[in-house]
Chain A
Amino acid sequence: MTATVQSPSPGPIAPPAKPNLLYRPEFRQAVYQILLVIALIIGFWAIAHNVAVNLARQNIASGFGFWTRTAGFDISQTLIEFDNQSTYGKAFWAGLMNTLLVAGLGIIFATILGFLVGIGRLSSNWLIAKLATAYVEILRNLPLLLQLFFWYFAVLKNLPGPRESISLPGGASLNVRGLYLPAPVPESGFGYVLAAFGIGILTSIAIAMWSKRRQLATGQRFPVLWTSLALIFLLPGAVYLVLGQPLGFEYPALRGFNFQGGMAVQPEFMALLVGLSTYTASFIAEIVRAGIAGVPRGQREAANAIGLSNGLTMRLVIIPQALRIIIPPLTSQYLNLAKNSSLAVAIGYPDFVSVFTGTVLNQTGQAVEVILLTMLVFLTISLLTSAFMNWFNKHIALVER
């Protein structure tokens, strides 16, 4: 009788009967994942096998044996010593250094220009705001390749020849072959000037730390910026004059058909650097503007209402909050700039892709190895950049709850 009544039993609750294996979510998930892994392995094996068979049929040896062979070509601009007797391995590093150089400088210039233009778009000055808007709308709406062609062919390749080159202040010259700058030649005693410069920087850092502590302790502020500028520039300047100007310059001079001596910056490099920086700056400007506009209006009002001036409001309240909106998309722009530097191929700057994935690949025919290495290099650059930016972003993230 009692067995038929469905009353709550006073004893321990019996676990519900397990459903059939097929209907358990854990089991199904495991099965799907195992199937996917098997499919991937089969797919990769098929591709690898296909490549190996085809390479063998064309008598191309695979592997990295080419790494230590002589490259036999020249690279027009390198940061490390390289000539046509160097190895393919060295060509890899020479190209990589060139890419890192243009990407690194490009990121710095694009960030500075982008912040200036972005803040300019929010300016209450009509002319500045319109100029910044025009800059952004023109630069970001034209293809980058076109802009590189513009800088290279329309601007730099239209400069006069060496004999009619444009003289710039300080003994520099600009012509169709590039920008020629005086090269500094240190003489005896110049070490003291460098030492004074180093001491200036270290003292400035110490003063900045001391001044911050003093402000926390007493509320008094110290003109850190002006003192630092004086220490960093006037101190080594004074030492330089006292020691009788121990720094010579080797000025580029016109000999025959071209300039000799000094430092030469190639037009290909200039065009790529200017093109990449100005193009990416237009995107960074929009990101900066969005970041600042994304801080609620009440924040500025509250800061004003407790007496903070507009400059202090920007520095202590708006920018710290805007940065947290700015950083993630800014990272994407840095990655874009690094990857877009491979457009160097189009204007003949010997970047990594042009040297390694272009010339080296053509000469060796090691397509699989070269392409894999190229992908690995760009992945490494990009992942390191975003790892750093993520760390920075975490550092300034807001605490909520």
Chain B
Amino acid sequence: MAEASRQPSRRVHGAAGAIVLDGVHKWYGEFHVLRDINLVVKDGERIVICGPSGSGKSTLIRCINRLEEHQQGSIIVDGTELTSDLRNIDKIRAEVGMVFQSFNLFPHLTILDNLCLAPVWVKKQSRAEAERIARQYLERVKIPEQALKYPGQLSGGQQQRVAIARALCMNPNIMLFDEPTSALDPEMIKEVLEVMSELASSGMTMICVTHEMGFARSVADRIIFMDRGEIVEMAPPEEFFNNPRSDRTKQFLSQILNH
């Protein structure tokens, strides 16, 4: 099913790297949020970004689908450069899925309608086709029985799994996760992480901002540590946890691992 939902023809740009950030800078007024970010994410690679709050990690991934605008440098997603050209933005947003900390499901629509909205209006699928695919993804995130309920009737963990399914319905090549488990109770974190791990093993390119270090260790190809708008450290999990080079990384790791 994982293979069926991904079209091999989409991998044309695989060699070039699914995402290339080159010298990206961003300011909020005077505040320098992103400083000279250089990052190449290969197709199918799983990246975890961590760092203290205010370090710019959310801003970084929000730049990748243009929810935030970068002011210097270039971002190329799947061979398309993000400029102010609206056609490029629409193209990239249809190819990049995003999951938010606060789920952001549409409360006035049923779960099924939440999932079908973009496929019907953006990809011009028929409602029947969109519904068939939506039910497949609900099956995959293990809540097929909730299809006709409203978001307000679901638990936080269920809502976040619906949000993941909603993003998958657009058949994206890349998934961005912005602290997907930070608003959840501990027992619900597990069910969401399981879905994300399953997704990772299907070969999806993933960039995930999270503090779930267990998830990072088992799933990530590379872990990035950000502080004050800079990428401080970037390494595979083994090296990142056992041999961090920078002092700031060591300090951060000791704070989040020692309790």
Contacts and interface: CB of A to CB of B under 8 A. Distances in A.
B150 A400 contact: yes
B166 to A, nearest CB: 7
Contacts of B152: 398-401
A42 B117 CA distance: 63
B106 interface: yes
B67 A304 contact: yes
A305 interface: yes
B107 A305 contact: no
Interface stretch (B44-52, B94-102, B200-208): B94-102
B118 A215 contact: no
A219 B107 contact: no
B90 interface: yes
Given A307-B90, A401-B153, A302 B104 contact: yes
**Interface size class for chain A?**
20 to 34
A302 B127 contact: no
A299 B104 contact: yes
A268 B102 CA distance: 55
Given A301-B104, A305-B98, A217 B128 contact: yes
A308 interface: yes
**Interface size class for chain B?**
35 or more
B100 A302 contact: yes
Interface string A206-225: 00000000011111110000
B167 A221 contact: no
Contact of B124 (A219, A324, A399, A401): A219
A316 B116 CA distance: 12
Given A302-B106, A320-B108, A400-B153, A308 B126 contact: no
Contact of A308 (B98, B102, B108, B121): B121
A165 interface: no
B238 interface: no
B158 interface: no
A301 B166 contact: no
Interface in B163-183: 163, 166-167, 170
Nearest to A315: B121
B124 A307 contact: no
Given A216-B127, A298-B100, A306 B167 contact: yes
Interface in B48-102: 65, 67, 90, 93-94, 96-98, 100, 102
Interface of A is mostly: helix
Given A398-B107, A401-B153, A220 B124 contact: yes
B120 A219 contact: yes
B77 to A, nearest CB: 13
A306 B170 contact: yes
B185 interface: no
A219 B117 contact: no
Interface string A167-179: 0000000000000
A75 interface: no
A219 B106 contact: no
Contacts of A215: 120, 127
Nearest to B62: A301
Interface of B: 65, 67, 90, 93-94, 96-98, 100, 102, 104-108, 117-118, 120-130, 150, 152-153, 163, 166-167, 170
Instruction: Name the 8 nearest CB pairs between A and B, nearest first.
Output: A302-B104, A400-B152, A216-B127, A306-B118, A307-B94, A298-B104, A305-B98, A219-B124
Interface of A: 215-221, 296, 298-299, 301-309, 312, 316-317, 320-321, 324, 396, 398-401
17 contacts: A216-B126, A216-B127, A219-B124, A219-B130, A303-B106, A305-B96, A306-B97, A306-B117, A307-B93, A307-B170, A316-B121, A317-B106, A320-B108, A396-B108, A398-B107, A400-B153, A401-B153
Given A301-B100, A398-B107, A399-B150, 6 more contacts: A217-B127, A296-B102, A296-B104, A301-B104, A307-B94, A396-B108
